[in-house]
A and B are shown apart, each in its own frame.
Chain A
């Protein structure tokens, strides 16, 4: 589906952020990209939708090369790449509905979007997604009135409004508390499964990544140093990615979290049919 080959990115300051990276994401496959700060995780996913211009290499989506694309076809291709941001990146002064509908900007003309006259099918889809992420009661709230977890749900709905093939997810949980982090990760991976979406998720939290995805890619100083299932990621690999450290705590926490997750998972299944306050109650019990 997405094929990255020989991707190299050197910043104008001379720093090499990515060094000849090869990575293939199969259709419907969710990948967690782990690595220390500055390893090039953000740069990698920003190269995919060319918010950052790569220096060399190719990124093929199906059989088109994103790197060598002109402006107009780049805009058309960006619609297929949904992006979710660490600090949510919602337009703070717009309402939840406007933020979600902004996912359709690549499909509607300027005046339609300016006058907020989106096609009814888009509005139906927005309501459907808001219900799915548990925010259908907040349609008219302004984005800056929401909590972190709620904002990220709006961000997820906006990305899915694009009807993407792949999600590019940049540290979705870094600004959230542990419980909300789990809910958001579960929501993202659950939606990917439902819709058959591939995803690249940048994430700091290794146990969280191991809990939710089937493939982990470790990045260090712009190079891939691990690519495989979570079960294969041992202390030696973590040391290679992050440097020397006592990793035993990480894996103990991991086992505890798995037990927690099973409980919370049951709660979410109920919550999918009820609304958000209800979910909080169940998950807390």
Chain B
């Protein structure tokens, strides 16, 4: 009861005393828990390794400086593979995710009790497994190489694109859909005229955003043998060729900058 009577004047407070007390108690418990965890982590840490961390970091930086620029030619091709892997994986993912999103959105699904839970299940499964883990499994099944990488990226993208797209479908303006339905349009026409134009900007934005993420993820899939620049990276790290590692880092950085620029341009053009 936030309104109280004090000498026939009404006093309003945001919360009453009991509510206020509960909130303070909540904060107290939170802070105490944080301190306990902190203490535990600190006890588990081997501090000898931490004390010389600046030294180690400096040492590694020194070994990584002065990169062998000639190595650049050798990684151009794997870099190109990485970009293709990300692009193809995204394409396959989007093609599978789009119908799934229509099945998963409550306002477009043809069956609320069978297909919708099924589509949601596929989306959640795909989302809950990181593409590195997908790649790990697929390298075992398909053998090492780009194929495993492409499919790993596609499998992870299905969940991401599917989820964001079905949320976009659920947020559309139903009036526009109703108006198309009122003309006597068939259900497929209602989708293509009433729904699709409304989610087109979201569709383009989500796809390009996922492509952008996939380029970054594709660079590490090689660590588990799924092809691309990651294979070179892991070889260089294993042979302690830190100069080569920094060339690879710079190449990745450049690619990511370019992909971000492209995705910003595309999103801008479509909205």
Interchain CB contact (< 8 A) of A85 among B179, B189, B200: B179
Interchain CB contact (< 8 A) of A106 among B185, B197, B198, B200: B185
| Given A105-B193, A113-B193, A114-B192, also A91-B176 (CB < 8 A) | yes
> Interface majority SS on B: helix, strand, loop or mixed?
helix
**B200 proximity list for chain A (CB < 8 A):** 93
Task: For the complex, count residues of A whose C-beta is within 8 A of B.
Answer: 29
A2 touches B (CB below 8 Å): no
Residues from 106 to 127 in A contacting B, C-beta threshold 8 Å: 106-107, 110, 113-114
Q: Are A83 and B182 in contact (CB under 8 A)?
A: yes
Q: Are B198 and A93 in contact (CB under 8 A)?
A: yes
Taking residues whose C-beta sits less than 8 angstroms from the other chain, chain B's interface range is 20 to 34
CA distance A114 to B198 in the complex (A): 15
Q: Write the chain B residue with the least CB distance to A81.
A: B182
Q: Write the chain A residue with the least CB distance to B183.
A: A105
Q: Write the chain A residue with the least CB distance to B201.
A: A93
1/0 contact trace for B184-225 toward A, CB 8 Å? 111011001110011011000000000000000000000000
A96 touches B (CB below 8 Å): no
CA distance A89 to B182 in the complex (A): 11
**B178 proximity list for chain A (CB < 8 A):** 51, 85, 89
Q: Are A91 and B183 in contact (CB under 8 A)?
A: no
Q: Are A105 and B185 in contact (CB under 8 A)?
A: yes
**B175 proximity list for chain A (CB < 8 A):** 85, 87, 89
A173 touches B (CB below 8 Å): no
**B192 proximity list for chain A (CB < 8 A):** 110, 113-114
Q: Write the chain B residue with the least CB distance to A87.
A: B175
**B127 proximity list for chain A (CB < 8 A):** none
Interchain CB contact (< 8 A) of B176 among A77, A90, A110, A113: A90
Q: Write the chain B residue with the least CB distance to A93.
A: B197
Q: Are B189 and A113 in contact (CB under 8 A)?
A: yes
CA distance A193 to B209 in the complex (A): 53
> Which of B179, B183, B186, B192 has the largest count of A CB atoms less than 10 A from its CB?
B183
| Given A78-B182, A90-B179, A92-B176, also A102-B188 (CB < 8 A) | no
Output the least CB separation between A77 and chain B (Å).
7
CA distance A35 to B9 in the complex (A): 43
Output the least CB separation between A79 and chain B (Å).
4
Known: A75-B184, A89-B179. 4 other contacts (CB 8 A): A78-B184, A79-B184, A91-B194, A106-B184
B267 touches A (CB below 8 Å): no
Q: Write the chain B residue with the least CB distance to A79.
A: B184
A94 touches B (CB below 8 Å): yes
Interchain CB contact (< 8 A) of A102 among B186, B193, B198: B193
| Given A75-B186, A102-B185, A106-B184, also A94-B193 (CB < 8 A) | yes
CA distance A105 to B186 in the complex (A): 8
CA distance A90 to B178 in the complex (A): 10
Q: Are A105 and B179 in contact (CB under 8 A)?
A: no
**A94 proximity list for chain B (CB < 8 A):** 193, 197
Q: Are A102 and B180 in contact (CB under 8 A)?
A: yes
Q: Are B179 and A106 in contact (CB under 8 A)?
A: no
1/0 contact trace for B245-260 toward A, CB 8 Å? 0000000000000000
CA distance A77 to B182 in the complex (A): 10
**A218 proximity list for chain B (CB < 8 A):** none
Q: Are A51 and B181 in contact (CB under 8 A)?
A: yes
1/0 contact trace for A60-96 toward B, CB 8 Å? 0000000000000001111101010101011111100
| Given A91-B194, A110-B189, also A162-B183 (CB < 8 A) | yes
A158 touches B (CB below 8 Å): yes
Output the least CB separation between B70 and chain A (Å).
51
A149 touches B (CB below 8 Å): no
Q: Are A103 and B183 in contact (CB under 8 A)?
A: yes
**B182 proximity list for chain A (CB < 8 A):** 49, 51, 78, 81, 83
**A93 proximity list for chain B (CB < 8 A):** 197-198, 200-201
Q: Are B176 and A158 in contact (CB under 8 A)?
A: no
Q: Are A83 and B185 in contact (CB under 8 A)?
A: no
Q: Write the chain B residue with the least CB distance to A76.
A: B184
Interchain CB contact (< 8 A) of A158 among B183, B188, B198: B183
| Given A89-B178, A91-B176, A92-B176, also A106-B183 (CB < 8 A) | yes
**A76 proximity list for chain B (CB < 8 A):** 184
CA distance A44 to B196 in the complex (A): 29
> Which of A89, A104, A106, A158 has the largest count of B CB atoms less than 10 A from its CB?
A89
A-B contact pairs, 24 of them (CB 8 A): A77-B184, A78-B184, A79-B184, A81-B182, A83-B179, A83-B182, A85-B175, A85-B179, A89-B179, A91-B176, A91-B193, A92-B173, A93-B197, A94-B197, A102-B193, A103-B183, A105-B185, A105-B193, A107-B184, A110-B186, A110-B188, A110-B189, A155-B179, A162-B183
Output the least CB separation between A263 and chain B (Å).
34
Interchain CB contact (< 8 A) of B184 among A85, A91, A92, A162: A162
> Which of B173, B180, B201 has the largest count of A CB atoms less than 10 A from its CB?
B180
